[in-house]
Amino acid sequence: MASRLRSFALAATFTLAAFSARAADIPRFEVEASWPKPLPNNWILGQVGGITTDKDGHVWLIHRPRSLTEDEKGAALNPPRSKCCVSAPPVLEFDADGNLLRSWGGQPSKESGDGYEWVGREHGIEVSDDGFVWIGGNEANDNAILKFTLDGKFVMQIGKIAPSKGSNDTTQLGKPAETAIDKDANEIYVADGYGNRRVIVFDATTGAYKRHWGAYGNKPNDDKQAAYDPKAPVSQQFGNPVHCVKLAGDGLVYVCDRINNRVQVFKKDGTFVKEWFYEKATLGNGAVWDLAVWPDPKQTWLLTADGENNEIRILNRDDGKVVGSFGRNGRNAGQFHWIHAMAVDAKGNVYTAEVDTGKRIQKFRLVSDALK
């Protein structure tokens, strides 16, 4: 009897230890309240329309200078209204400590001869490992993505700053929200977007069209959709906006269908795999705004940003189940107002960007052992 009790106790100890190890592996974070360091030149940020990290662990963002109120840009008025502030350039690069490294962007001068039009409302940024920056926009005619060098030299444009041609046109975009790079295939995936209802893929060097698909891997259409109703049958089309696209190392493609409160998962050829729903009762702007793939070798977790409920959920990537969350609506460090975009670096640090009146970026440092 005593032997059986000792065996039971030993088994229970091992079970508890295994459970504790698994629990410890779930990512946990602490906000770095003083990150980033103050901007130079009396600069201020507007709504931050996109954020990403590069292979060097640097943080890139794109913000919206035209979203600043007269009070916020008082020093830029003629005559100046106040001592502070003037808008920072739209694109900024920081190191992990919050030091500003580089900034550029905006409408080129007529004399520059650069041959492109800057977007009307900045939305989405991606930096490829071979040293290019992709940006987009979601103003009425922002139906293109632009490619630049790290220093802001214009390289290429896919689509035009002109009216959209719909969700099945292969030459023009529809207010694209975000991009993702497949470096092995040299392809760029576009969450397209605020106007169209699809994912579309191009050659990242030539801009040549490759393929596109809508919800469930079907052909998208632009028919008027009913307002989201959690009690109605699930929509067979993406809603607007198709707000994010992310690639995992095993070839799965994750898409944020924001208004429909779901993540849809595909193969790279557009074959539908599965879908997950989150906070299905959420109305307003929806519950799935952005997504990040965890950087451990197995890419065990996904993080999803929810700008309506203002939290980040931690998901098991295999089955989509929620294993944790952090954040809430508020103005203090570690809280969010319209968390719009999110990125994670190789060390597991999370960077967030807010729009509407949030107009800020934050850093959350990994404090658990979740990178094994």
Please give the angle made by the CA atoms of 106, 112 and 114, to the nearest 5 degrees. 70
pLDDT score, position 244: 98
pLDDT band at 13 (very low <50, low <70, confident <90, very high): very low
**Three-state secondary-structure class, residue 274:** strand
Q: What is the CATH number of the domain that holds 71?
A: 2.120.10.30
- 59 part of a folded domain: yes
Overall domain count for the chain:
1
Candidates 26, 44, 138, 59; CA nearest to 352 is 59
pLDDT band at 111 (very low <50, low <70, confident <90, very high): low
- 109 part of a folded domain: yes
Candidates 105, 114, 169, 110; CA nearest to 135 is 105
pLDDT band at 113 (very low <50, low <70, confident <90, very high): low
- 5 part of a folded domain: no
- 26 part of a folded domain: no
The dihedrals phi and psi of 115, each to the nearest 5 degrees, come to 75, 30
Express each pLDDT in 123-140 by its tens digit. Answer: 999 999 999 999 999 999
The span from the CA of 59 to the CA of 352, in Å, is 10
Domain that holds residue 262: 32-366
Around Cβ 77, how many Cβ atoms within 10 Å? 12
Asked if residue 65 has a cis previous peptide bond (ω within 30° of 0), the answer is no
- 17 part of a folded domain: no
Q: What number is the average pLDDT over the span 348-368?
A: 98
Q: What number is the average pLDDT over the span 232-236?
A: 96
pLDDT score, position 24: 46
- 9 part of a folded domain: no
Provide the whole-model pTM.
0.92
Average pLDDT of the chain to the nearest whole number? 93
Q: What number is the average pLDDT over the span 52-72?
A: 98
The span from the CA of 192 to the CA of 215, in Å, is 12
pLDDT score, position 208: 98
pLDDT score, position 114: 76
pLDDT band at 215 (very low <50, low <70, confident <90, very high): very high
- Is pLDDT of 109 > 80? no
- 162 part of a folded domain: yes
The span from the CA of 127 to the CA of 134, in Å, is 6
The span from the CA of 314 to the CA of 307, in Å, is 15
Express each pLDDT in 260-311 by its tens digit. Answer: 999 999 999 999 999 999 999 999 999 999 999 999 999 999 999 999 999 9
- 36 part of a folded domain: yes
Share of the chain above pLDDT 90, in %: 90
pLDDT score, position 10: 40
- Is pLDDT of 360 > 50? yes
